[in-house]
Chain A
Amino acid sequence: MSLGELSCLRGISGQEKEVRSYIIREIEGHCEDIRTDSIGNLYAKSGGDSKSRIGLFAHMDEVGMMVTRIDGHLLHFDPVGGINPVLLPGTKVRIGENATPGVVGCPPKHLQKKGEGELSIPLEDLRIDVGDFVEEIEIGDMVTFDTEYRERSGVAKGKAFDDRIGCQCLIDIIKKGVDADCTFVFTVQEEAGLRGAQVASQNVDIDYGMACEGTFALDQPGVPDYDKMPMMGHGPVITIADRSVISSREMVDAMASVAGTFGIPYQFKRPFAGGTDAGMVHLSGFGVPSCVVSNPCRYIHSPCAMARLEDLNMMSKLIYESIGRISEGI
């Protein structure tokens, strides 16, 4: 399992080079026709002829920040993708291609006015502290969370599980080898609004689309019971509908039936939450039936996410077996 390596690579939307190079090295020799496009998407073909052609999508980018102004030892920044500013004070980060370390400061309790600590610090008041003026840092540099990957008792913790977990899943499937006509697409700029997928979906010729994702698990305190879905450790998550796509019902039914056949636990995603590359894919060409399969992760879009490795194994298996079923024509 190289989720550890993959999740520690650094790549916010638009700066996915490191992730792309890693994936190319991983899949070379296991597939044909590896190519990239103008925006940075990575394509690979695998398998032989089948009744239907399937496109599988996972995005390489992660949420992070970008340096917008340099003020001596203090960097102004803006989030790239959805990051709740409440997560940032006290966070360790890495800046630019050289991974220069920095921290987001937090005012000490000692010097606070009464009640000040009860409200989150507005984003515009936060700065990244790099200790002293650092010559090599430039405006536009990417900022990523500085989080170590850890595994214990089948629980993985690390950054960027959205969507390196999807990338890992597709790499595993490519290495295993598929019988059907599959195009694997590692997209860019998903977190900036599905922008890579918009280009990619114009460049592939497919009959069905499937996005592989890391999604929010909501089985955590502070979430009402009626919203606690999906749950970590309860198997891969099938999307019926989110903000970007209403999944192809045929595909959802096919996957549920495959899960039943192979004894794979699965769950449905809370409807109309989030959006994925499938939102672009299903509108491409004259319409491409699409769906989303995700791994339930707690705390994605934060410095440290959490996932059960068993869920990831089950997700790989569900996607692999579903490729067989869907490519035969459903």
Chain B
Amino acid sequence: MYNSLSRLVSAFGVAGHEEDVRKVILDEGSFSDYRVDKIGNLICRNTYDDSAPSVLLDAHMDEVGFIVRYIDDAGMIYVNAVGGIDSRALIGKELLIRGEEDLVGIVANIPPHMSKDNKVPGVSELQVDTGLTKEELQDIVRIGTPIGYVPHMERLGGTAVSGKAFDNRVGCLALCELSKRLGDKRNVTYLFSTQEEVGTRGATVALKDISPDIAICVDATQGDMHFIDSPITRSLGSGAIIGTGPNIDPGVFRWLVNSARSSGVPYTTKAYPAPTPTNLRSMQLLAGGVVSGLVAIPCRYMHSPSEVVDVNDIISVISLLERFIDDVDDVIRGDF
């Protein structure tokens, strides 16, 4: 599990550049059939009984990152954020520039004795310094080159891990693992979607030609952090988070809770009074309307170069969904 997760998070996958992640997923999952659509979504299946109720499981492959906007005469690279990034987590960090070849740059920072206040520049004001001159850079980096965090994953205390892009490689891992456990027993489509971080775009395209009976989105969501006292965060290790709200079908919510209870999987629930910040916000409205559910994994310091998750929570999500899909005939026949 740790190795698979490490391979998944180490892949470069800034929104719009998910090729490497697709390769790792095809390696880690077990699928008899797959296709890649025009926006880069990876849609996988196993042989199945297509008279059975169909379930779509979605996890987005992309991660937040940057794109090169300008290179000045000194060779300093200016970037724009791809997705929601707090510049406070960037000062002094190394970034991986996915140019003609991979290059590492440092986010420039001014020595303490020269900084006059505690203002932090925004992402678009930062400079990425490779130490190379503009001339040395010209064949490697250009306007539009994507930049991501430097890959790393460490095992922390207990079953916690730190690294980049847990949002949402944890979801990708859960789907890969489910593909092995469910095999061809069930009518499941696995959607590894692109460009979620810039507005659920991959999922929007994918749902044009998939019309599942039920769609479940698996994503990372906010974990408890000492910085914040909020009713919407959940502690790491507390299990799967089952979402409820207008974006989620009440019947699916109830069945997910039942599945968790009956299988003894630890879980918490989370209320989303508005459309969820996940692919589900789009999926629910497409393909003539899709019955949808949300299962999430708590993650601390989301979108920073060093996120933290608990591997046990991923296992909880896998067990919960395995049970839910085993029961899916009853769900469909039920009175939700």
Chain A residues within CB distance 8 Å of chain B: 73-74, 82-84, 86-87, 89-92, 100-112, 117-121, 125, 127, 129-134, 147, 150, 152-153, 155, 157, 216, 218-223, 227, 232, 273-274, 298-304, 306, 308
Residue from B152, B226, B230, B236 having most chain A Cβ neighbours under 10 A: B226
A-B contact pairs, 13 of them (CB 8 A): A86-B91, A86-B115, A104-B306, A110-B302, A110-B303, A117-B87, A119-B118, A131-B236, A134-B156, A147-B94, A157-B106, A222-B110, A302-B92
Q: How far is the CA of A91 from the CA of B112 in the complex (A)?
A: 17
Q: Is the interface of A mostly helix, strand, loop or mixed?
A: loop
What's the nearest-Cβ distance from chain A to residue B215, in Å? Answer: 23
Report whether B109 and A227 are in contact in the complex, using a CB–CB cutoff of 8 Å: no
Quick one: which of B88, B91, B232, B300 contacts A129, CB cutoff 8 A?
Answer: B300
Interface residues of B in 275-325 (CB under 8 A from A): 277, 300-306, 308, 310
Contacts A91-B306, A220-B129, A299-B92 given: A131-B84 contact, CB under 8 Å?
no
B115 to chain A: which residues have CB within 8 Å? Answer: 84, 86
Report whether B152 and A92 are in contact in the complex, using a CB–CB cutoff of 8 Å: yes
Task: Kindly report which residue of chain B lies nearest to residue A232, judged by CB atoms.
Answer: B131
Report whether A86 and B118 are in contact in the complex, using a CB–CB cutoff of 8 Å: yes
Report whether A131 and B162 are in contact in the complex, using a CB–CB cutoff of 8 Å: yes
Task: Kindly report which residue of chain B lies nearest to residue A243, judged by CB atoms.
Answer: B113
Q: How far is the CA of A83 from the CA of B109 in the complex (A)?
A: 12
Report whether A86 and B310 are in contact in the complex, using a CB–CB cutoff of 8 Å: no
Report whether A308 and B131 are in contact in the complex, using a CB–CB cutoff of 8 Å: yes
Question: Beyond the given A102-B162, A131-B161, A274-B113, could you list 19 further A-B residue pairs with CB under 8 A, ordered by the A residue number?
Answer: A90-B305, A91-B306, A106-B301, A108-B304, A109-B303, A112-B86, A117-B86, A117-B122, A118-B120, A119-B119, A121-B88, A130-B160, A132-B160, A157-B94, A218-B114, A222-B110, A298-B106, A298-B108, A299-B108
Report whether B226 and A89 are in contact in the complex, using a CB–CB cutoff of 8 Å: no
Residue from B87, B88, B104, B228 having most chain A Cβ neighbours under 10 A: B88
Quick one: which of A109, A129, A302 contacts B109, CB cutoff 8 A?
Answer: A302
Report whether A91 and B93 are in contact in the complex, using a CB–CB cutoff of 8 Å: yes
Contacts A86-B91, A131-B161 given: A103-B118 contact, CB under 8 Å?
no
Count of interface residues, chain B, beta-carbon cutoff 8 Å = 64
Contacts A131-B157, A304-B106 given: A111-B222 contact, CB under 8 Å?
yes
A82 to chain B: which residues have CB within 8 Å? Answer: 112
Chain B residues within CB distance 8 Å of chain A: 72, 74, 76, 84-94, 103-104, 106, 108-115, 118-120, 122, 127, 129-132, 136, 152, 154-162, 222, 225-228, 230, 232-233, 236, 277, 300-306, 308, 310
Quick one: which of B113, B120, B130 contacts A119, CB cutoff 8 A?
Answer: B120
Report whether A106 and B106 are in contact in the complex, using a CB–CB cutoff of 8 Å: no
A91 to chain B: which residues have CB within 8 Å? Answer: 92-93, 306
Residue from B156, B236, B302 having most chain A Cβ neighbours under 10 A: B156
Contacts A110-B222, A119-B119 given: A221-B94 contact, CB under 8 Å?
no
Report whether B159 and A108 are in contact in the complex, using a CB–CB cutoff of 8 Å: no
Report whether B86 and A125 are in contact in the complex, using a CB–CB cutoff of 8 Å: no
What's the nearest-Cβ distance from chain A to residue B157, in Å? Answer: 3
Report whether B88 and A86 are in contact in the complex, using a CB–CB cutoff of 8 Å: yes
Q: How far is the CA of A150 from the CA of B161 in the complex (A)?
A: 24
Report whether A90 and B109 are in contact in the complex, using a CB–CB cutoff of 8 Å: no
A100 to chain B: which residues have CB within 8 Å? Answer: 157
Report whether A152 and B103 are in contact in the complex, using a CB–CB cutoff of 8 Å: yes
Report whether A101 and B162 are in contact in the complex, using a CB–CB cutoff of 8 Å: yes
Report whether B110 and A92 are in contact in the complex, using a CB–CB cutoff of 8 Å: no
Q: How far is the CA of A299 from the CA of B87 in the complex (A)?
A: 17
Report whether A90 and B104 are in contact in the complex, using a CB–CB cutoff of 8 Å: no
What's the nearest-Cβ distance from chain A to residue B311, in Å? Answer: 10
Q: How far is the CA of A106 from the CA of B90 in the complex (A)?
A: 10
Task: Kindly report which residue of chain A lies nearest to residue B160, judged by CB atoms.
Answer: A131
Report whether B162 and A108 are in contact in the complex, using a CB–CB cutoff of 8 Å: no
Report whether B277 and A102 are in contact in the complex, using a CB–CB cutoff of 8 Å: no
Report whether A107 and B87 are in contact in the complex, using a CB–CB cutoff of 8 Å: no
Q: How far is the CA of A131 from the CA of B27 in the complex (A)?
A: 29
Task: Kindly report which residue of chain A lies nearest to residue B308, judged by CB atoms.
Answer: A129
B130 to chain A: which residues have CB within 8 Å? Answer: 155
Report whether A107 and B225 are in contact in the complex, using a CB–CB cutoff of 8 Å: yes
A227 to chain B: which residues have CB within 8 Å? Answer: 114
Contacts A131-B160, A306-B129 given: A103-B308 contact, CB under 8 Å?
yes
Report whether A299 and B306 are in contact in the complex, using a CB–CB cutoff of 8 Å: no
Report whether B303 and A108 are in contact in the complex, using a CB–CB cutoff of 8 Å: yes
Q: How far is the CA of A125 from the CA of B300 in the complex (A)?
A: 15
Report whether A134 and B157 are in contact in the complex, using a CB–CB cutoff of 8 Å: yes
